[in-house]
């Protein structure tokens, strides 16, 4: 009888979901997700509205687009999060020593911005504060993603924590974006940013009580010093081989970081007419930076893993534990190369499938998102108010609902089934937009049939007769994005080792944007020549490729003998506890 009750309690579905949500880790995850999304909305969205209201020159405002680089290339300093402990904050924990100070710093910066005057004369101080805030925000994102992977267990699963994180993030985007504009219109911008800063300070204080492993200690009980010493044991690669690999990877990372720093210097120091375009920089240099810091190092890591597996270039006896410069090289190797060597060695040839899925899973919305507003406003001739209602107000609600559905599906049918289903519906929603490009007759008929048009007419009396079909289409797309997003982040988190979670997750997530960035130019040209209808048919077909890859990944997971809902690698000790 007791066993039957226990089996019933562990039955997937609402029971599992309820237990996960009752876990304190889920509450902290919601707070951290909100803290992650709020600065992004404030620095890259509503801040421009404040600057416009203060009549800051557009050329000067263009400097603020540099803030986006902190988020686009945050993986460049992810090794610091995994390897370096902050003096004076070590006692907070392995990840909290980065999360809590970043949140408190963000709160202070937002309050300082509220006390500043964003005029053309005083814009230097204002932009410096915003730039530091963006760096702190991107840094806390790296640490929060790693914390989520580290603390996941059998009750607060990685699936639920990933979903809760995204729900907090999306809610923060709504609060810092649309709601921020509404609040500012009533009480003013300084007071609005003062309020947002106070919220982050409260979250930072609450984060002091979140669970975390000790600084320098991995969740499986190993510590960084043990990992370093293991490099000097018999059977490990020779120091000379590792030094060559480190030299190549280090050079690539140095070139990438130098490229970003050069661009930032030119943008800040050069006259406005000579400054490089941030959008063009991200488009032209972004993919190559990822190739230099992810793709080529991954190939090097694969070569190292294969040599070690075959027993080539390995040490035949132990080396001294500490050897000055050699030991310092071990530290660099641990930070830059070992995360990829571990991942490539663990995945083997499955890495080809995993990288293919990473590159294609979010390709539909990654490419299409750039052309959404030109499609709504230019092609379909909707007004700004109508697009804001459909995409920002109703659309954000649909994404949050999709995340909730995705969280339930993860517990009810499993991670890989939800991942595959999410890829399928995300691809198929492109057909809804194809109908819109052809006139939207089917979308209008479906909206009328279920009474949705009447509901939108009541909620948005300012809209045209065509508004319901746009809102109807965006609703279904965002529901699909929510479900797919919940499954994708959970899956991506599940394949990352807890020993190197900050670096591995940051690098893999950066690849998600690669194909989208490369494909936008070609897609824009196709829109000019063939129109939106053919583009939506093409993105549907591309999305179906991700579905096929999900099926192959599902087969791989089943064959590997791992449960769909197993915790990430390196968590066995946590589960045992």
Total domains in the fold of the chain: 3
**Same domain, residue pair 427 and 360:** yes
CA distances from 150 to 20, 212, 479 (A): 16, 8, 28
Q: In whole angstroms, what is the distance from residue 42 CA to residue 175 CA?
A: 9
**Same domain, residue pair 169 and 234:** no
400 within domain boundaries: yes
Task: Look up the CATH number of the domain holding residue 173.
Answer: 1.20.1250.20
**Same domain, residue pair 41 and 183:** yes
26 within domain boundaries: yes
90 within domain boundaries: yes
End residue of a domain, out of 336, 358, 390: 336
7 within domain boundaries: no
**Same domain, residue pair 253 and 296:** yes
Beta bridge partners of 314: 237
Could you write out the three-class secondary structure of 163-206? HHHHHHHHHHHHHHHHHHHHHHHHHCHHHHHHHHHHHHHHHHHH
**Same domain, residue pair 276 and 316:** yes
**Same domain, residue pair 361 and 313:** no
CB 368 within 8 A of CB 539: yes
**Same domain, residue pair 103 and 180:** yes
Q: Which domain holds residue 93?
A: 20-217
1 within domain boundaries: no
**Same domain, residue pair 267 and 209:** no
48 within domain boundaries: yes
CA dihedral angle for residue 515, residue 520, residue 525, residue 530, rounded to 10 degrees: 80
| Secondary structure (DSSP) of 363-387 | HHHHHHGGGHHIIIIIIS---HHHH
403 within domain boundaries: yes
End residue of a domain, out of 163, 189, 217: 217
End residue of a domain, out of 336, 360, 384: 336
pTM score: 0.85
| pLDDT per residue as tens, the chain (577 positions) | 444 444 444 555 666 667 777 888 999 999 999 999 999 989 887 888 888 787 777 656 666 666 777 887 888 888 888 888 888 898 999 999 999 999 999 999 999 999 887 776 667 788 788 888 988 999 999 999 999 999 998 888 899 999 999 999 999 988 988 788 889 888 999 999 999 999 999 999 999 999 988 876 776 656 666 766 777 788 888 888 888 999 999 999 999 889 888 887 787 677 767 777 776 777 778 788 888 888 899 889 889 888 888 888 888 887 776 554 566 777 788 888 889 888 988 888 888 899 889 988 887 776 676 678 788 888 888 888 888 888 888 888 899 999 999 999 998 999 999 999 999 999 999 999 999 999 999 999 999 999 999 998 888 888 788 899 999 999 999 999 999 999 999 999 999 988 888 899 988 888 776 666 666 666 777 787 888 898 889 889 888 999 999 999 999 999 886 444 444 444 443 333 3
**Same domain, residue pair 404 and 523:** yes
**Same domain, residue pair 110 and 157:** yes
**Same domain, residue pair 465 and 387:** yes
437 within domain boundaries: yes
**Same domain, residue pair 325 and 423:** no
């Amino acid at each position: 009888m007791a066993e039957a009750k226990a089996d019933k309690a562990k039955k997937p579905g609402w029971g599992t979901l309820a237990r996960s949500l009752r876990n304190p880790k889920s509450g902290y995850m919601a707070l951290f997700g909100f803290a992650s999304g709020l600065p992004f909305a404030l620095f890259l969205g509503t801040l421009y509205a404040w600057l416009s209201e203060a009549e800051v020159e557009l050329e000067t405002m263009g400097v603020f687009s540099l803030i986006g680089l902190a988020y686009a290339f945050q993986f460049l300093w992810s090794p610091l999060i995994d390897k370096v402990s902050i003096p004076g904050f070590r006692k907070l924990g392995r990840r909290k020593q980065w999360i809590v100070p970043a949140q408190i710093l963000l709160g202070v910066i937002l309050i300082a911005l509220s006390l500043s005057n964003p005029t053309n004369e005083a814009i230097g101080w204002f932009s410096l504060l915003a730039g530091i805030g963006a760096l702190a925000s991107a840094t806390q994102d790296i640490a929060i993603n790693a914390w989520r992977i580290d603390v996941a267990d059998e009750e607060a699963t990685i699936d639920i924590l990933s979903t809760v994180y995204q729900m907090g993030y999306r809610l923060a985007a709504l609060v810092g974006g649309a709601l921020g504009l509404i609040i500012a219109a009533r009480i003013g911008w300084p007071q609005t940013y003062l309020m947002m800063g106070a919220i982050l300070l409260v979250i930072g204080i609450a984060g002091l009580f979140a669970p975390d492993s000790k600084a320098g200690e991995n969740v499986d009980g190993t510590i960084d010093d043990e990992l370093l010493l293991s490099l000097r044991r018999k059977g490990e690669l020779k120091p000379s081989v590792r030094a060559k690999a480190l030299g190549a990877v280090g050079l690539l990372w140095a070139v990438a970081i130098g490229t970003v720093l050069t661009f930032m210097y030119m943008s800040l120091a050069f006259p406005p007419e000579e400054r490089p375009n941030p959008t063009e920089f991200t488009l032209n240099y972004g993919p190559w930076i990822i190739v230099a810091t992810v793709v080529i190092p991954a190939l090097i890591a694969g070569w190292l893993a294969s040599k070690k597996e075959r027993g080539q270039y390995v040490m035949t006896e132990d080396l001294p534990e500490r050897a000055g410069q050699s030991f310092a090289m071990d530290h660099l190797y641990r930070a830059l190369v070992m995360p990829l060597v571990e991942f490539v060695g663990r995945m083997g040839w499955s890495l080809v499938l995993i990288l293919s899925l990473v590159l294609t899973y979010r390709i539909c919305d990654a490419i299409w998102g750039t052309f959404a507003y030109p499609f709504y406003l230019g092609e379909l001739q909707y007004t700004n108010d109508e697009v804001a209602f459909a995409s920002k107000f109703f659309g954000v609600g649909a994404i949050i609902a999709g995340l909730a559905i995705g969280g339930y599906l993860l517990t009810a049918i499993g991670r890989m089934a939800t991942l595959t289903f999410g890829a399928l519906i995300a691809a198929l929603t492109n057909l809804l937009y194809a109908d819109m490009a052809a006139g939207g007759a089917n979308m209008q008929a479906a909206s009328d049939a279920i009474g949705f048009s009447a509901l939108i007419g009541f909620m948005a009396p300012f809209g045209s007769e065509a508004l319901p079909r746009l809102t109807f289409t965006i609703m279904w797309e965002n529901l699909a994005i929510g479900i797919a997003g919940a499954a994708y982040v959970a899956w991506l988190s599940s394949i990352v080792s807890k020993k190197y979670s900050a670096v591995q997750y940051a690098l893999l997530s950066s690849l998600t944007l690669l194909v989208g960035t490369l494909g936008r130019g070609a897609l824009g040209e196709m829109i000019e020549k063939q129109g939106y209808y053919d583009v939506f048919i093409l993105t549907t077909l591309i999305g179906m490729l991700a579905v096929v890859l999900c099926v192959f990944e599902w087969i791989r997971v089943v064959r590997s003998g791992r449960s769909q809902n197993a915790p990430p690698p390196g968590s066995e000790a946590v589960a045992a506890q």
